[in-house]
Structure 1
Amino acid sequence: MEPQRQILLNQTPYTLQDLYNRYAGMLLGYLSEIVKDHQKAEQHLVSIFNAIPQHLHEINNTDTNIWCQLQRLAKKHLSDSFVVGGGSHLGNGINTRQDKNKFLDRMTDEQQLIFSSIYYNHKTTLQLAKELNKPEDLIRTTLKEAFAIIRKGL
Protein backbone atom coordinates (compact mmCIF):
# COMPACT_ATOMS: atom_id res chain seq x y z
CA MET A 1 0.00 0.00 0.00
CA GLU A 2 1.22 3.51 -0.76
CA PRO A 3 2.56 5.41 2.28
CA GLN A 4 0.20 8.38 1.71
CA ARG A 5 -2.83 6.13 1.49
CA GLN A 6 -1.78 4.28 4.66
CA ILE A 7 -1.48 7.60 6.50
CA LEU A 8 -4.97 8.59 5.38
CA LEU A 9 -6.38 5.28 6.57
CA ASN A 10 -4.77 5.70 10.00
CA GLN A 11 -6.14 9.20 10.58
CA THR A 12 -9.22 9.75 12.70
CA PRO A 13 -12.38 10.32 10.70
CA TYR A 14 -12.73 13.96 11.76
CA THR A 15 -10.22 16.50 12.93
CA LEU A 16 -11.18 19.62 14.80
CA GLN A 17 -10.77 21.62 11.59
CA ASP A 18 -13.06 19.21 9.70
CA LEU A 19 -15.73 19.54 12.37
CA TYR A 20 -15.43 23.31 12.36
CA ASN A 21 -15.64 23.53 8.57
CA ARG A 22 -18.66 21.24 8.38
CA TYR A 23 -20.68 22.12 11.48
CA ALA A 24 -19.69 25.52 12.92
CA GLY A 25 -22.29 27.39 10.89
CA MET A 26 -25.11 25.07 11.94
CA LEU A 27 -23.95 25.07 15.55
CA LEU A 28 -23.77 28.87 15.57
CA GLY A 29 -27.34 29.01 14.27
CA TYR A 30 -28.43 26.54 16.92
CA LEU A 31 -26.74 28.57 19.67
CA SER A 32 -28.08 31.87 18.31
CA GLU A 33 -31.60 30.51 18.44
CA ILE A 34 -31.17 29.55 22.08
CA VAL A 35 -29.38 32.61 23.47
CA LYS A 36 -30.90 35.16 21.04
CA ASP A 37 -27.65 37.14 20.96
CA HIS A 38 -25.24 36.59 18.09
CA GLN A 39 -22.16 37.81 19.97
CA LYS A 40 -22.84 35.54 22.96
CA ALA A 41 -23.58 32.65 20.60
CA GLU A 42 -20.17 33.18 18.98
CA GLN A 43 -18.52 33.15 22.42
CA HIS A 44 -20.29 29.90 23.27
CA LEU A 45 -19.24 28.44 19.90
CA VAL A 46 -15.59 29.22 20.62
CA SER A 47 -15.86 27.63 24.08
CA ILE A 48 -17.50 24.51 22.66
CA PHE A 49 -14.86 24.10 19.96
CA ASN A 50 -12.14 24.56 22.59
CA ALA A 51 -13.67 21.63 24.50
CA ILE A 52 -14.11 19.35 21.48
CA PRO A 53 -10.57 17.88 21.53
CA GLN A 54 -11.45 16.24 24.85
CA HIS A 55 -14.48 14.61 23.17
CA LEU A 56 -13.08 13.69 19.74
CA HIS A 57 -13.13 9.97 20.57
CA GLU A 58 -16.89 10.19 21.28
CA ILE A 59 -17.57 12.23 18.16
CA ASN A 60 -15.53 9.94 15.93
CA ASN A 61 -17.41 6.86 17.12
CA THR A 62 -18.85 5.45 13.91
CA ASP A 63 -22.15 4.51 15.61
CA THR A 64 -23.07 8.10 16.45
CA ASN A 65 -24.42 11.02 14.49
CA ILE A 66 -21.87 13.82 14.64
CA TRP A 67 -24.45 16.60 14.58
CA CYS A 68 -26.27 15.03 17.54
CA GLN A 69 -22.98 14.72 19.41
CA LEU A 70 -22.23 18.41 18.82
CA GLN A 71 -25.72 19.41 19.94
CA ARG A 72 -25.25 17.32 23.10
CA LEU A 73 -21.97 19.10 23.81
CA ALA A 74 -23.63 22.46 23.18
CA LYS A 75 -26.51 21.65 25.56
CA LYS A 76 -24.06 20.56 28.23
CA HIS A 77 -21.96 23.69 27.71
CA LEU A 78 -25.01 25.97 27.91
CA SER A 79 -26.39 24.28 31.01
CA ASP A 80 -22.94 24.42 32.63
CA SER A 81 -22.63 28.11 31.77
CA PHE A 82 -25.81 28.78 33.78
CA VAL A 83 -24.43 26.88 36.79
CA VAL A 84 -23.32 28.69 39.95
CA GLY A 85 -23.51 26.25 42.97
CA GLY A 86 -24.74 22.78 44.28
CA GLY A 87 -27.69 20.61 43.09
CA SER A 88 -31.07 19.27 44.24
CA HIS A 89 -34.01 17.12 43.18
CA LEU A 90 -37.65 17.99 42.60
CA GLY A 91 -40.07 15.09 43.18
CA ASN A 92 -40.15 11.91 41.06
CA GLY A 93 -36.34 11.81 41.04
CA ILE A 94 -36.14 14.73 38.62
CA ASN A 95 -32.88 16.62 38.99
CA THR A 96 -33.54 20.36 38.88
CA ARG A 97 -30.01 21.47 39.73
CA GLN A 98 -31.90 24.24 41.49
CA ASP A 99 -28.95 25.38 43.58
CA LYS A 100 -26.71 25.31 40.51
CA ASN A 101 -28.85 27.20 38.03
CA LYS A 102 -29.31 30.87 38.76
CA PHE A 103 -32.26 31.04 36.35
CA LEU A 104 -34.42 28.35 37.92
CA ASP A 105 -35.30 30.53 40.91
CA ARG A 106 -36.93 32.97 38.47
CA MET A 107 -39.22 30.24 37.11
CA THR A 108 -42.47 28.89 38.51
CA ASP A 109 -42.45 25.37 39.93
CA GLU A 110 -44.10 24.07 36.76
CA GLN A 111 -41.54 25.81 34.52
CA GLN A 112 -38.70 24.40 36.65
CA LEU A 113 -40.11 20.90 36.48
CA ILE A 114 -40.62 20.97 32.71
CA PHE A 115 -37.31 22.65 31.90
CA SER A 116 -35.35 20.33 34.19
CA SER A 117 -37.10 17.20 32.97
CA ILE A 118 -36.39 17.99 29.34
CA TYR A 119 -32.92 19.51 29.48
CA TYR A 120 -31.34 17.83 32.46
CA ASN A 121 -33.13 14.48 32.40
CA HIS A 122 -33.48 14.25 28.59
CA LYS A 123 -37.19 13.50 28.48
CA THR A 124 -39.25 14.32 25.42
CA THR A 125 -42.23 16.63 25.58
CA LEU A 126 -44.47 13.66 24.80
CA GLN A 127 -43.00 11.57 27.64
CA LEU A 128 -43.38 14.44 30.08
CA ALA A 129 -46.94 15.19 28.96
CA LYS A 130 -47.89 11.57 29.65
CA GLU A 131 -46.12 11.57 33.04
CA LEU A 132 -47.76 14.80 34.14
CA ASN A 133 -51.07 14.00 32.46
CA LYS A 134 -51.05 17.35 30.66
CA PRO A 135 -51.42 18.28 26.98
CA GLU A 136 -48.16 18.28 25.03
CA ASP A 137 -48.90 21.81 23.78
CA LEU A 138 -48.97 23.05 27.38
CA ILE A 139 -45.58 21.42 27.99
CA ARG A 140 -44.13 23.15 24.92
CA THR A 141 -45.61 26.53 25.89
CA THR A 142 -44.26 26.26 29.42
CA LEU A 143 -40.84 25.27 28.08
CA LYS A 144 -40.84 28.34 25.81
CA GLU A 145 -41.68 30.50 28.82
CA ALA A 146 -38.73 28.99 30.71
CA PHE A 147 -36.41 29.80 27.80
CA ALA A 148 -37.75 33.36 27.72
CA ILE A 149 -36.76 33.72 31.39
CA ILE A 150 -33.27 32.41 30.62
CA ARG A 151 -32.85 34.74 27.64
CA LYS A 152 -33.85 37.76 29.71
CA GLY A 153 -31.18 36.85 32.25
CA LEU A 154 -28.35 36.48 29.73
Structure 2
Amino acid sequence: MFKAVLNNPSAEPKDIRWFYDQYAPMLLGYINGIVQDHQQSEDHLVAILTSFVKDVVLQEKSKLNIWLELRQYAQSKLTLFTAKDHQLKPNPSVNKGKLDLLDDSQKRIFCAVYYHGKSIPYLAATMGCDESEIRNQLKLSIDKMRRASGN
Protein backbone atom coordinates (compact mmCIF):
# COMPACT_ATOMS: atom_id res chain seq x y z
CA MET A 1 0.00 0.00 0.00
CA PHE A 2 1.26 3.51 -0.73
CA LYS A 3 2.79 5.70 1.97
CA ALA A 4 0.22 8.42 1.29
CA VAL A 5 -2.56 6.00 2.12
CA LEU A 6 -0.86 4.48 5.16
CA ASN A 7 -0.29 7.90 6.75
CA ASN A 8 -4.02 8.69 6.78
CA PRO A 9 -5.92 7.07 9.64
CA SER A 10 -9.23 5.53 8.68
CA ALA A 11 -11.93 7.68 10.26
CA GLU A 12 -14.95 7.66 8.02
CA PRO A 13 -16.03 5.79 4.89
CA LYS A 14 -15.24 8.64 2.52
CA ASP A 15 -11.55 9.13 3.34
CA ILE A 16 -8.62 8.27 1.08
CA ARG A 17 -7.99 4.90 2.72
CA TRP A 18 -11.58 3.81 2.06
CA PHE A 19 -11.32 4.92 -1.58
CA TYR A 20 -8.04 3.11 -1.95
CA ASP A 21 -9.46 -0.10 -0.51
CA GLN A 22 -12.61 0.08 -2.63
CA TYR A 23 -11.45 1.41 -5.98
CA ALA A 24 -7.65 1.22 -6.35
CA PRO A 25 -7.54 -2.13 -8.20
CA MET A 26 -10.17 -1.07 -10.75
CA LEU A 27 -8.72 2.41 -11.14
CA LEU A 28 -5.17 1.08 -11.49
CA GLY A 29 -6.34 -1.27 -14.26
CA TYR A 30 -8.08 1.63 -16.00
CA ILE A 31 -5.04 3.91 -15.69
CA ASN A 32 -2.64 1.15 -16.76
CA GLY A 33 -4.68 0.67 -19.94
CA ILE A 34 -4.07 4.32 -20.83
CA VAL A 35 -0.55 4.96 -19.55
CA GLN A 36 1.04 1.56 -20.37
CA ASP A 37 3.78 1.98 -17.72
CA HIS A 38 3.13 0.35 -14.35
CA GLN A 39 5.21 2.76 -12.24
CA GLN A 40 3.66 5.82 -13.89
CA SER A 41 0.23 4.22 -13.48
CA GLU A 42 0.79 3.85 -9.74
CA ASP A 43 1.97 7.45 -9.50
CA HIS A 44 -1.12 8.65 -11.35
CA LEU A 45 -3.31 6.47 -9.12
CA VAL A 46 -1.98 8.13 -5.97
CA ALA A 47 -2.32 11.62 -7.44
CA ILE A 48 -5.85 11.00 -8.72
CA LEU A 49 -7.18 9.39 -5.54
CA THR A 50 -5.64 12.11 -3.37
CA SER A 51 -7.00 14.96 -5.47
CA PHE A 52 -10.39 13.26 -5.89
CA VAL A 53 -10.88 13.02 -2.14
CA LYS A 54 -9.78 16.65 -1.70
CA ASP A 55 -11.56 18.20 -4.71
CA VAL A 56 -14.81 16.31 -5.04
CA VAL A 57 -17.52 16.75 -2.45
CA LEU A 58 -19.41 13.49 -2.48
CA GLN A 59 -23.02 13.14 -1.57
CA GLU A 60 -24.52 9.85 -0.48
CA LYS A 61 -24.59 7.83 -3.68
CA SER A 62 -24.50 4.20 -4.60
CA LYS A 63 -21.08 2.63 -5.09
CA LEU A 64 -21.72 2.44 -8.83
CA ASN A 65 -22.13 6.20 -9.06
CA ILE A 66 -18.99 6.83 -7.03
CA TRP A 67 -17.01 4.56 -9.35
CA LEU A 68 -18.36 6.31 -12.44
CA GLU A 69 -17.60 9.72 -10.99
CA LEU A 70 -14.10 8.61 -9.99
CA ARG A 71 -13.46 7.17 -13.46
CA GLN A 72 -14.62 10.37 -15.16
CA TYR A 73 -12.44 12.39 -12.81
CA ALA A 74 -9.46 10.12 -13.58
CA GLN A 75 -10.14 10.43 -17.31
CA SER A 76 -10.07 14.23 -17.14
CA LYS A 77 -6.85 14.18 -15.09
CA LEU A 78 -5.19 11.61 -17.37
CA THR A 79 -5.92 13.77 -20.40
CA LEU A 80 -3.71 16.43 -18.88
CA PHE A 81 -1.06 13.95 -17.67
CA THR A 82 -0.74 12.08 -20.95
CA ALA A 83 -0.69 15.29 -22.97
CA LYS A 84 2.54 16.21 -21.23
CA ASP A 85 4.00 12.71 -21.69
CA HIS A 86 3.14 12.22 -25.36
CA GLN A 87 3.80 15.09 -27.69
CA LEU A 88 1.84 14.69 -30.89
CA LYS A 89 4.38 14.50 -33.69
CA PRO A 90 4.06 13.15 -37.21
CA ASN A 91 4.44 9.41 -37.52
CA PRO A 92 7.92 8.76 -39.02
CA SER A 93 6.67 5.89 -41.19
CA VAL A 94 4.17 8.13 -43.02
CA ASN A 95 4.82 9.41 -46.53
CA LYS A 96 5.83 13.02 -45.90
CA GLY A 97 5.14 14.28 -49.43
CA LYS A 98 1.82 15.99 -48.78
CA LEU A 99 2.51 16.76 -45.12
CA ASP A 100 5.24 19.19 -46.15
CA LEU A 101 2.50 21.48 -47.50
CA LEU A 102 1.09 22.01 -44.01
CA ASP A 103 2.32 24.41 -41.36
CA ASP A 104 3.42 22.98 -38.00
CA SER A 105 0.05 23.41 -36.29
CA GLN A 106 -1.90 21.82 -39.17
CA LYS A 107 0.61 18.98 -39.40
CA ARG A 108 0.37 18.30 -35.68
CA ILE A 109 -3.44 18.28 -35.74
CA PHE A 110 -3.70 16.19 -38.90
CA CYS A 111 -1.23 13.55 -37.65
CA ALA A 112 -2.83 13.45 -34.20
CA VAL A 113 -6.28 12.79 -35.67
CA TYR A 114 -5.49 10.51 -38.60
CA TYR A 115 -2.36 8.65 -37.51
CA HIS A 116 -2.62 8.66 -33.72
CA GLY A 117 -6.42 8.43 -33.38
CA LYS A 118 -6.80 11.43 -31.07
CA SER A 119 -10.17 13.12 -30.73
CA ILE A 120 -10.88 16.78 -31.33
CA PRO A 121 -11.90 17.42 -27.68
CA TYR A 122 -8.65 15.77 -26.57
CA LEU A 123 -6.61 17.98 -28.91
CA ALA A 124 -8.46 21.09 -27.77
CA ALA A 125 -7.62 20.26 -24.15
CA THR A 126 -3.98 19.44 -24.82
CA MET A 127 -3.30 22.35 -27.15
CA GLY A 128 -5.30 24.85 -25.12
CA CYS A 129 -7.53 26.08 -27.91
CA ASP A 130 -11.15 25.88 -28.94
CA GLU A 131 -12.59 22.77 -30.63
CA SER A 132 -13.84 24.89 -33.53
CA GLU A 133 -10.28 26.10 -34.16
CA ILE A 134 -9.02 22.48 -34.20
CA ARG A 135 -11.77 21.51 -36.65
CA ASN A 136 -10.98 24.51 -38.85
CA GLN A 137 -7.23 23.71 -38.94
CA LEU A 138 -8.00 20.05 -39.72
CA LYS A 139 -10.32 21.04 -42.57
CA LEU A 140 -7.73 23.46 -43.97
CA SER A 141 -5.02 20.79 -43.87
CA ILE A 142 -7.24 18.26 -45.66
CA ASP A 143 -8.15 20.86 -48.28
CA LYS A 144 -4.47 21.71 -48.90
CA MET A 145 -3.57 18.05 -49.33
CA ARG A 146 -6.51 17.44 -51.68
CA ARG A 147 -5.64 20.43 -53.86
CA ALA A 148 -2.03 19.27 -54.07
CA SER A 149 -3.06 15.80 -55.23
CA GLY A 150 -5.55 17.16 -57.79
CA ASN A 151 -8.76 16.04 -56.04
TM-score by length of 1: 0.48
